[in-house]
Amino acid sequence: MMKILSDAIAGMLGPEAAIYALAAIGLNIHFGYTGLLNFGQVAFMLVGAYGLAAGVVTFGLPFWAGILIGIACAVVLALILGIPTLRLRGDYLAIATIAAGEVLRYVYRSGYAEPVTNGVFGLRQFADPFYAMSPLPDHDFDLGITTFSARNLWVMIVSWSLVALACALVYLLIHSPWGRVLRAVREDELAARSLGKNVYGFKLQSLVLGGVLGAIAGALLAINTQSAYPDTYDPKVTFYLYAIVILGGAARVLGPVLGSLIFWLILAFLGSFLRAASDAGVIPAEVLGSSAIGALVIAFVGLGLLLLMVFRPSGILGNSKEMRLDVR
């Protein structure tokens, strides 16, 4: 029982939760504040991760140059993706972005790209300078209920700090005139346009900004495991991010953070619980093998997203006056 609880807490505070929170903050700028149905957020994470990984491993650049390349790739991707699709209606944008994300993943894992991305084998060992910066002594840290290794704790500290910075940035931006225009675009594009605002330009800026946050999150995800594989960045990640944004409350500064904490708490709890039940023989192995547990946890995520959207589309922090998903 204690094991399940400590696993759940570790999942809630762990590096993944922080990284997904960061990517979700980016998505919240797109979806929550600008009303863009971007279903290709994972593509920004992919280019962010590979900018770093390929920059360091393939081209032998320093660590920080790799990070900057990742961010630059995200800006370029946002422009390439946004210029043709942002004039389209929302549902077209959703399909175009998810398709773009998949195309990118296919290309990164293909034989053609192997000289740069090493194909499905991925790239490894590119974040040593990041871990060398850690001031933490190299032993496990006992945080009462759970323990973290020094490396994990260092990633967590950096990631959660970036999350805090990103939240502050979003707060300031959204309460600036720029942010008010964004929300006007979301509420009524024609009205914003009739007031002389360049709606298209604002959408593009929003896409770039959220995409850069996604790229930083992608780079952190790669740093966390010291490895980058194309198949880590499949459309499921984007669906997770939507679940996080909606759970916390779209168009809320702290929505993605709260959403990520709860999402990973539930995910880690379920995984640990089902494994414990399986080990204890409560669930017979013939019914549910140990390898099926991961799949079942994702199934629960899907069910949770469905129920959340049916019964409480505004999430936990959501303000139904601020953003209404349930109107046509």
Partner 1 sequence: MLRRLMVAVAVCMASLFVSSGAAVSAAGMDDASSPVAAKDSTSQSIFGTVRSPAGKPLAGLTITVTRGGKKVGSATTDNKGSWKIPVPGHGTYVVALDVGTLPKGLQVRTKGGETLGHVDVSTGEDQPVLFGLAAAGAPQEKSTPGATSAPASAAPTSEASGGDRTSGFGSRAMQLLIGGIEYGSIIAITAVGLSLVFGTTRLINFAHGEMVMMGAVVAFIMSTGSGGLPLAAAAVVAMIAVGALGAGFELVLWRPLRKRGAGLIQMFIISIGLSLFVRHVVLAFFGGRRRQYDQYAVQDSIRLGAIEITPRDLTITLISLAILVGVALVLQHTRIGKATRAVADNKDLAEASGIDVNRVILVVWVAGGALAGLGGVFFGLSEAVFWNMGFNLLLLMFAGIIVGGLGSAYGAIIGSLLVGLVAQLSTLWFSPELQSAWALLALIVVLLFRPQGILGRAERAG
- Smallest gap from residue 137 Cβ to partner 1 (A): 27
Q: Which of 161, 171, 289, 320: binder of partner 1 (CB under 8 A)?
A: 289
What backbone phi and psi angles, to 5 degrees, belong to 311? -100, -30
Closest CA to 215 of 69, 15, 37: 69
User: What residue ranges in 89-244 does DSSP mark as E strands?
Assistant: 123-124, 141-142, 147-148, 227-228
Site membership for partner 1, residue 115 (CB under 8 A): no
Site membership for partner 1, residue 107 (CB under 8 A): yes
Contact 97, 44 (CB under 8 A): no
User: Assign residue 18 a region: left if phi > 0, alpha if psi is -120 to 50, beta otherwise?
Assistant: alpha
Nearer to partner 1, 234 or 322 (CB): 234
Near partner 1 in 44-83, by CB under 8 A: none
DSSP string, 40-57: -HHHHHHHHHHHHHHHHH
Q: Which of 309, 316, 319, 322: binder of partner 1 (CB under 8 A)?
A: 309
Nearer to partner 1, 75 or 292 (CB): 292
Site membership for partner 1, residue 150 (CB under 8 A): no
Site membership for partner 1, residue 91 (CB under 8 A): yes
Q: Which of 26, 185, 278, 283: binder of partner 1 (CB under 8 A)?
A: 278
Site membership for partner 1, residue 304 (CB under 8 A): yes
Nearer to partner 1, 37 or 65 (CB): 37
- Binding window for partner 1 (CB under 8 A); candidates: 61-69, 131-139, 157-165, 284-292: 284-292
Site membership for partner 1, residue 318 (CB under 8 A): no
50: amino acid identity, one letter: Y
* Angle in degrees, CA 178, 179, 182, rounded to 5: 95
What backbone phi and psi angles, to 5 degrees, belong to 264? -75, -30
Site membership for partner 1, residue 106 (CB under 8 A): yes
Site membership for partner 1, residue 291 (CB under 8 A): yes
Contact 32, 318 (CB under 8 A): no
End-to-end CA distance of the chain: 45
Near partner 1 in 216-275, by CB under 8 A: 229-232, 234-236, 239, 242-243, 246, 267-268, 270-271, 275
Nearer to partner 1, 99 or 116 (CB): 99
Site membership for partner 1, residue 111 (CB under 8 A): yes
Token pair 């309460």: residue:
175
Site membership for partner 1, residue 37 (CB under 8 A): yes
User: Assign residue 199 a region: left if phi > 0, alpha if psi is -120 to 50, beta otherwise?
Assistant: alpha
| CA atoms of 60 and 113, how far apart (whole Å) | 17
Nearer to partner 1, 16 or 63 (CB): 16
- Binding window for partner 1 (CB under 8 A); candidates: 68-76, 138-146, 201-209, 293-301: 293-301
Site membership for partner 1, residue 195 (CB under 8 A): no
Strands 141-142 vs 123-124: parallel, antiparallel or unpaired: unpaired
Site membership for partner 1, residue 277 (CB under 8 A): no
